Amino acid sequence: MTTHLTLVFIVLLTLGGCATNPVTGKSELTLVSRQSEIAIGTEQYLPAQQSQGGLYQVDADLTAYVQQVGDRLAAVSDTELPYEFVVLNNSSPNAWALPGGKIAINRGLLVTLDSEAELAAVLGHEIVHAAARHGARSMERNMLLQGVALVTAISTSDSEYSNHIMGGAMLGSQLISQRYGRQAELESDYYGMKYMARAGYDPAAAISLQEKFVELGKEREASWASGLFASHPPSEQRVATNIESNKTIKSTQSKDWETGKSRFLKKLAYLSSKSDAYAAYDQATALASKKELVVALKRVNRAITLEPNEPRFYGLKADMQHSNKVYRDALESYDSALRLDDTYYQYYLGRGLTYSKLGNRGKARADLERSNQLLPTSVASNELGTLALQEGDRDSAKKYFAAVARSEGPLRKPAMDNYIRLDIADNPSNYIQAMPTDHNGTLVATITNTTRIPIRSAVVQFTAVINGQRAEKHSTLGTVQANSRTGISSGWHFRPDDVVENVTARVISIQL
């Protein structure tokens, strides 16, 4: 007999086909088309950026510079894609690529590099991940092995935001946190070095880059462990392979290899000059996570003094003020963050929660809705459900709580309870089961409360056709505890010669 997994495999084979990988030249089974890859990357680029700190906007010239270096490499790559390159406002040293050529590098990785050629090594590596379909192949493997839809094909992300991201935005978070296999990493190193050479960069920079990563890996710094090393693990093998690749590439061509060190250091000068400010911010973040808010506030104020143009500093300060219930001060700090950057979801989320605490439901709702437009989260949706309930809008509240209940994370169960409290009044029989039975000539029913919510009372409707006549009776039931069952009598007693047919029992109303 054909198994379910085999059926899935057959269906996918009919949808896909074989194609030549544009980078490696190998023939591969393709289930995700190039058009789909581009569509996925385009759709997930914004939420993926949001989930990783948003755009770094203090020094716009730096982002333009990274885009220029990326464009130079993309122009000599083997695949024409709508490449984009951005710098993210994240201290973690990381870089990632989505299918379709959407690439990001964190400011935390930029400050560890020494030259434009090393930057080219990072971007070239990510270009290959996109061009060689490494992300798409990972999705395809999971589709075949698990037989699941594309949007759930990648295992759950372990990023700090993963417990709150909702709906389709989860896919971007999952794609950028996946761990590539050894073969994919070696391919990206090799072809990335080839692209570097075609663009005129010294491919030896890929060696120094990996050597640096290996040494940092030995130090086991937490930021590296959760950043680049989690998805792009370095190894001595990669260093040795890059050394051989460098020899092979240079043996076939001779040119003045470019490192661009002075140009890179000049472009990075502003960000590097603010290293003390970001160090203070990172310290404040760590202290705040330990609830050491007094010391954390001093550190973030230090960061603001050193770099008053960085919105993340004001956002963190606002979060701490909100935690301390100093809501008016928190509003001012969120406003400061949004004046500097009105494109980052977390500032709207924090300000919306703060407005809610102050009783300004209109402004709270506007900010929380804007936050969800940028990155849908269970935190914003749960609060929107609470606000809708306060305003008597039960239908909207149900929709918000239902969305949160479908997500993962700590708000899932409370949201489910809130949804049930609202929906149970409209559809009581969906939650309170009634099973009719005959007990010594009396029609009774076993009532089961399948929820985690105790029921104060309920009305049970009994119906039956007795001796050819339809009959109906209502009985009132008292308390039914959560996840428990009890019995109730209809009050009907039947004679032995009665013909009783089509018996039903159904809960038609409840009181919580």
pLDDT, tens digit, for every residue of 262-320?
A: 999 999 999 999 999 999 999 999 999 999 999 999 999 999 999 999 999 999 999 99
Lowest mean pLDDT across 112-126, 175-189, 344-358: 175-189
- Tokens describing residue 42: 């385009």
User: In this predicted structure, what is the pLDDT of residue 8?
Assistant: 37
Q: What percent of the chain has pLDDT over 90?
A: 68
Helix (H) and strand (E) counts for the chain?
23, 11
The pair of structure tokens assigned to 401 is: 């709580």
The whole-angstrom separation of Cα 445 and Cα 510 is 16
Mean pLDDT throughout 365-373?
97
pLDDT of residue 188: 87
Q: Is the confidence at residue 67, as pLDDT, over 80? A: yes
Average pLDDT over residues 144-155: 38
- Please report, rounded to a whole number, the percentage of residues in the chain having pLDDT higher than 70: 82
Buried b (16+ CB within 10 A) or exposed e, 68-78: ebbebbbeebb
Q: How far is CA 188 from the centre of its chain?
A: 25
C-alpha neighbours within 13 Å on the C-beta side of residue 210: 26
First vs last C-alpha separation in the chain: 50
pLDDT value at residue 20: 65
Task: Single out the residue of 354, 352, 349, 346 nearest to residue 365, CA to CA.
Answer: 352
Helix 361-374 vs helix 34-51: crossing angle, to nearest 10: 140
The answer to whether the Cα torsion of 315, 320, 325, 329 is positive or negative is: negative
Residue given tokens 């020094």 in the structure block: 59
pTM: 0.85
Instruction: State mean pLDDT over 402-423.
Output: 92
Starting at the edge strand that comes first in sequence, how are the strands of the sheet with 484-493 ordered?
A: 432-439, 442-449, 484-493
Instruction: Tell me what the mean pLDDT of segment 463-476 comes to.
Output: 95
